[in-house]
């Protein structure tokens, strides 16, 4: 323990600060080198953190970002100050040492660990240098037992807009993340949040294509395990009950757990399917177009619950040339697109159309509709009714 403290103190002393001296610089420097009055970080890494330490951690985190209109943006100067002053190093030592333990709910450690991970998430936001430093500790972070969801969100932040680091992820670590998400959730539902990190790992930047090598590997992991891990969700009975489950407003733990499992899995499968035809074809077997439309047009289901299914519809059906030949899909799309002619902006579109950009809308309008099945379905429709509503 003495050696760890000595290394951190020396690291803080030898850090080269180039900031203009002010109260923040002075305060961070003292805290990072354990020369502040309370020695709060020293107390923390000794496992003796208390309520005052928790308040300090909250203050560190709040200092890392600022609110700019509706966005939370990183404060690069403060991030680097916390990084070079020794605060970052101290908190990394703390989380790696204590997050692998399980603590009684009445102790301070769970709150302290969650707050420390939140700080690490905020200090690495938009900062590739800090992300790289955290990246090398991923194998240890994946042994987490306390602060599980916080670690998952930290890893998602590390991967965000950092394709280079994502490409460096080993298959062993990826498989470990998937195992945590797919099997450990039965013991602790927080492990489902690792699906968030995996989704970002496959597509770290929305402006760039997904990382196909990761998609292929991860989707194969899913195929090898879904019968054991997700048969309750992906069975015909589970899919049929999805609407009722998503409409459920109960705050019972088992209901929230079942909803989160379905939502995380749906978004994960959609991410696997982006530009990956094999995954698209397999995912069509899990959620039919009929079930998707039932969910995303149901006004009794919250919009944030509908979004993963909109994403799934987009990646598995709308961006799938094979499925765009589906008569039911063609007719449904042409009907709802016809309702947009008076809408000039995407903000006025129904949620289930937000996945269609203007170019796609034009493509849909040009889809052939002389299919006999479509003509037969048209005869059964009532004039002026959006097709998707008849599936409710």
- DSSP secondary structure, 82-144, as one string: HHHTTHHHHHHHHHHHHTTS---TTSSHHHHHHHHHHHHHHHTTT-HHHHHHHHTTHHHHTT-
CA trace torsion 53, 55, 56, 59 (10° rounding) = 160
* Whether 134 and 212 share a structural domain: no
Asked if residue 242 has pLDDT above 90, the reply is yes
* Whether 19 and 51 share a structural domain: yes
Domain end, chosen from 160, 194, 217, is at 160
* Whether 8 and 151 share a structural domain: yes
Containing domain of residue 391, as a range? 327-392
Provide the percentage of residues in the chain whose pLDDT is more than 70.
Answer: 76
Q: What is the pTM of this model?
A: 0.81
* Whether 33 and 111 share a structural domain: yes
**Sequence-separated contacts (24+) of 33-36 with Cβ below 8 Å:** 33/9, 33/85, 33/86, 34/5, 34/8, 34/9, 34/90
Contact in structure between 115 and 61 (CB atoms under 8 Å): yes
pLDDT band at 94 (very low <50, low <70, confident <90, very high): very high
DSSP 3-state of 66: strand
Please tell me the distance from the alpha carbon of residue 48 to that of residue 39, in angstroms, as a whole number. 11
Domain end, chosen from 99, 134, 160, is at 160
Please tell me the distance from the alpha carbon of residue 4 to that of residue 34, in angstroms, as a whole number. 13
Please tell me the distance from the alpha carbon of residue 233 to that of residue 319, in angstroms, as a whole number. 24
Segments of the chain assigned E as strands: 65-68, 71-74
The pLDDT of residue 345 is: 45
Measured CA angle at 147 (ends 142, 152), to 5 deg = 50
* Whether 18 and 128 share a structural domain: yes
Which phi and psi angles does 65 have, rounded to 5°?
-135, 165
Angle between helices 171-182 and 212-229 (to 10 degrees): 30
Domain end, chosen from 284, 306, 325, is at 325
pLDDT band at 289 (very low <50, low <70, confident <90, very high): confident
The pLDDT of residue 187 is: 73
383's tokens: 């004039």
Domain count, the chain: 3
* Whether 229 and 96 share a structural domain: no
* Whether 30 and 128 share a structural domain: yes
Mean pLDDT of 38-58: 90
* Whether 191 and 113 share a structural domain: no
DSSP 3-state of 388: helix
* Whether 78 and 186 share a structural domain: no
116's tokens: 């420390």
Give the model confidence (pLDDT) of 102-136 as tens digits. 998 788 999 999 999 999 999 999 999 999 999 99
């Amino acid at each position: 323990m003495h050696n760890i403290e000595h290394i951190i103190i020396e690291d803080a002393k030898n850090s080269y600060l180039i900031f203009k001296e002010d109260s923040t610089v002075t305060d961070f420097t003292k805290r990072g080198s354990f020369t502040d009055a309370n020695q709060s970080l020293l107390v923390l890494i000794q496992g003796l953190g208390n309520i005052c330490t928790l308040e300090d951690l909250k203050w560190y985190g709040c200092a890392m970002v600022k609110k700019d209109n509706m966005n939370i943006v990183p404060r690069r100067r403060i991030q680097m100050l916390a990084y070079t002053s020794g605060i970052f190093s101290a908190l990394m030592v703390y989380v790696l040492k204590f997050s692998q333990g399980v603590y009684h709910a009445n102790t301070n450690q769970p709150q302290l660990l969650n707050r420390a991970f939140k700080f690490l998430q905020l200090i690495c936001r938009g900062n590739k240098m800090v992300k790289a430093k955290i990246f090398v500790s991923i194998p240890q972070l994946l042994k987490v037992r306390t602060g599980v969801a916080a670690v998952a969100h930290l890893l998602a932040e590390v991967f965000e807009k950092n394709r280079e680091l994502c490409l460096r992820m080993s298959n062993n670590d990826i498989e470990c993340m998937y195992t945590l998400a797919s099997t450990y959730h039965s013991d602790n539902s927080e492990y489902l949040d690792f699906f968030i990190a995996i989704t970002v790992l496959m597509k770290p930047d929305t402006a760039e294509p997904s990382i196909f090598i990761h998609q292929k590997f991860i989707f194969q992991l899913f195929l090898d395990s879904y019968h054991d891990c997700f048969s309750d969700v992906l069975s015909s009975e589970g899919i049929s009950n999805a609407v009722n489950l998503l409409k459920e407003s109960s705050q019972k733990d088992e209901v929230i757990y079942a909803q989160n499992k379905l939502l995380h899995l749906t978004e994960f499968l959609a991410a696997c399917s982006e530009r990956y035809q094999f995954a698209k074809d397999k995912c069509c077997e899990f959620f039919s177009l009929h079930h998707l439309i039932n969910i995303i047009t149901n006004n009794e289901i919250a919009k944030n619950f509908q979004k993963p299914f909109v994403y799934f519809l987009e990646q598995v059906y709308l961006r799938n040339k094979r499925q765009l030949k589906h008569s039911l899909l063609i007719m449904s799309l042409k009907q709802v697109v016809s309702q947009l002619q008076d809408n000039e902006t995407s903000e006025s579109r129904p949620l289930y159309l937000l996945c269609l950009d203007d170019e796609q809308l034009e493509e849909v309008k040009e889809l052939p509709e002389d299919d006999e099945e479509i003509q037969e379905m048209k005869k059964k429709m009532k004039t002026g009714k959006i097709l998707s509503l008849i599936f409710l």
